[in-house]
A and B are shown apart, each in its own frame.
Chain A
Amino acid sequence: MEPVGLSSASSKDSTSLDVGSERNRYPYVTGTSVLGVKYKDGVALAADLGGSYGSTLRYKSVERIKAIGKHTLLGASGEISDFQEILRYLDELILYDNMWDDGNSLGPKEIHNYLNRVMYNRRNKFNPLWNSLVIGGVKNGQKYLGMVGMIGTHFEDNHVATGFGNHLARPIFRDEWREDMTFEEAVRLLEKCLRVLLYRDRSAINKFQIAKITDEGVTISQPYSLKTFWGFSAFKDPTKGAEGSW
């Protein structure tokens, strides 16, 4: 899933499938990892506010975590415009759900299933929504956290991460996640992983939001930064071991 930026499409495989329809060949403006953990009272999601255009960090205030209905949080990585499209689909879904006015409301499991079907069906039409989605929520005391990929791969777990987070954050989660974490502990765990991603993921920026959802409702924090440390001696004097090098 490499963003190609401004270079032109390859034409090696022109087939009749391509005639006339819109086709998502590669993503343009992308968001990087989204992290999610369950904790004692609910679910917490974290993501940075960056939108990259290939190797350029073009947008620095892209909110990639949104509340859906009363019970769900949705975080997305990948193509930002496709995320906005998904939000439009969900707006309509929630609207119809509210219009029933029957006291029932769509919970995170239903949203996850809906998005799973949408992603899979778009993949079947060769026109995917280029996103990896994290769905978290609480309904009637039941916590839920799941992920849906671009082609419809999906699962539910106590901690999830998309993109680079899968490689860098999941191992930390596997080691340190506990069932009965308080919100403060969950935030410390998320911040630890966000910091690792900041150091090691080229497309991460130092501006994050943490969102939490409990039975009481949704809170999405204001953007904030983490303290980082770059004062390693190897950075100060990189050529110490090799005189004449640069």
Chain B
Amino acid sequence: MALSRDWMYENNGGTCVAIAGADYCVVAADTRLSIGYSIYTRDYSKICKLTEKCVLASSGFQGDIKALQKNLAAKHLIYQHQHNKQMSCPAMAQLLSNTLYFKRFFPYYAFNVLGGLDNEGKGCVFTYDAVGSYERVGYSAQGSGSTLVMPILDNQLKSPSPLLLPARDAVTPLSEADAVDMVKDVFASATERDIYTGDKLEIVILNASGVRREFMDLRKD
């Protein structure tokens, strides 16, 4: 059985979303940890604060996610010792991509969304696949409920289309409060139809005054 290679991974489910605004970034994930048709726990955080300006939300195989987040936190600590400053969000984005690709032939089964403030204080969101290909976007969703969430965000966030020329900044013109409300709505909807999403929603908001955390109950069924 060990030779068949599908015992090494499992999908612990969950949905992660991030939305970038003009001067804020909202990163959110549900807190349910599932296995097959069972729930292990209703209170497991998928969000990891990497720097004062950069927050990572990951869904997928929890063993790999924990290892990945620890790995990045350790690399960031070394960076701080060597450079006497924290990593910027775009720098962390590149580091995450490289870390994922490093295990290209035995991947971290982690679907990541990195959110934070860039060097100019504008919101930035980076979205990844499991092997490190990434892109800076205005908003993104990953995980089991991502297909339910993305279309709503596409429709409701009023972000400039990525197909426009000249290229425009993809951040949403919505206010921070509106973006947080949007995230709550979107998770409530995803919870209705995705069995792996639910229990509780954890929202992390980054802006010029710092990092703030909010929680909201979701359906437990």
The answer to whether A15 and B2 have CB atoms under 8 Å apart is: no
Provide the main secondary structure of the chain A interface. Answer: loop
Is B10 at the interface (CB under 8 A from chain A)?
yes
The answer to whether A25 and B63 have CB atoms under 8 Å apart is: no
The answer to whether B66 and A166 have CB atoms under 8 Å apart is: no
One digit per residue, 1 when the CB lies within 8 angstroms of any chain A CB and 0 when it does not, for chain B 1-16 equals: 1111101111010000
The answer to whether B3 and A155 have CB atoms under 8 Å apart is: no
By a CB distance below 8 angstroms, the chain B residues around A15 are 3
The answer to whether B3 and A154 have CB atoms under 8 Å apart is: no
Q: From B3, which residue of chain A is reached at the shortest CB distance?
A: A13
The answer to whether A155 and B41 have CB atoms under 8 Å apart is: yes
Nearest CB in chain B: distance from A108 CB, A: 16
Nearest CB in chain A: distance from B23 CB, A: 35
The answer to whether A170 and B38 have CB atoms under 8 Å apart is: yes
Is A157 at the interface (CB under 8 A from chain B)?
yes
Nearest CB in chain B: distance from A22 CB, A: 11
Q: Among B2, B35, B62, find the residue whose CB has the most chain A CB atoms closer than 10 A.
A: B2
Partner of A120, one of B1, B3, B35, B67: B67
Q: Among A2, A147, A157, A167, find the residue whose CB has the most chain B CB atoms closer than 10 A.
A: A157
Q: From A14, which residue of chain B is reached at the shortest CB distance?
A: B3
Separation of A153 and B39 alpha carbons in the complex (Å): 13
The answer to whether A152 and B12 have CB atoms under 8 Å apart is: no
Q: From B106, which residue of chain A is reached at the shortest CB distance?
A: A124
The answer to whether B8 and A26 have CB atoms under 8 Å apart is: no
Q: Among B5, B7, B44, B64, find the residue whose CB has the most chain A CB atoms closer than 10 A.
A: B7
By a CB distance below 8 angstroms, the chain B residues around A12 are 3-4
Is A18 at the interface (CB under 8 A from chain B)?
yes
By a CB distance below 8 angstroms, the chain A residues around B63 are 119-120, 123, 149, 151-154
Q: From A123, which residue of chain B is reached at the shortest CB distance?
A: B8
One digit per residue, 1 when the CB lies within 8 angstroms of any chain A CB and 0 when it does not, for chain B 53-95 equals: 0000000011110110000000000000000000000000000
Is A36 at the interface (CB under 8 A from chain B)?
no
The answer to whether A152 and B41 have CB atoms under 8 Å apart is: no
Q: Among A14, A153, A167, find the residue whose CB has the most chain B CB atoms closer than 10 A.
A: A153
Q: Which 5 A-B pairs have the closest CB atoms?
A: A152-B63, A13-B3, A155-B41, A25-B2, A157-B41
Could you pull out 6 A-B pairs where Cβ atoms are within 8 angstroms? A23-B2, A24-B2, A25-B1, A152-B66, A153-B61, A155-B33
